[in-house]
Amino acid sequence: MRILGVDPALAITGYGVIDFNKHGFSVVEAGVIKTEHKKGLQARLAKIYDGMSDIICEHRPDCMVIEKVYVHYQHPTTAFLLGQARGIILLAASKSEVAVVEYAATQVKKAIVGRGLASKSQIQKMVGSVLGLKTLPKYNDVTDALALAITYSYHSAFLKNDCKDFRKDY
């Protein structure tokens, strides 16, 4: 199974593509889609859409796993911007007919570390260990994206189902 994990954001969207089978994990590709703060919102969203579409087209994932939105009530503007970035990413998945699964950050932390309140460094170390990485990703966004993909692999193996169970008719 090929899984694309995505940590959405307007400035830096992290992604990680992993293969998961009975022999374990292998990282296919991981990286970030960066947008420039100086560019307008429309251009930044277009860059995210184009980048995500290219990743999907190149790697043909069986599913995409994306983080659910959680934003503090004191920062509503952040929620709107994050929501727009997520929407563009979901549009890219939909146009490519890739099934999407969503997890809250606490679900991912619990699956990866065993605690829903794990720190970024704990997540990073466990992701590196599980995937056998020689060096840890430079960006936490990449680590989070890989953690999302690993979480889905754990859940799919446990539940004996795959992304097709989550596919919706459009």
Residues tagged active-site: 7, 67, 141
DSSP notation for 19-73? EEETTEEEEEEEEEEE--TTS-HHHHHHHHHHHHHHHHHHH--SEEEEEPP---T
Eight-class DSSP state of 165:
G
| Tokens of residue 103, six digits | 């997890």
Query: Backbone dihedral region of 114: left (phi > 0), alpha (psi from -120 to 50 degrees) or beta?
Result: left
Task: Report the distance separating Cα 109 and Cα 122, nearest Å.
Answer: 9
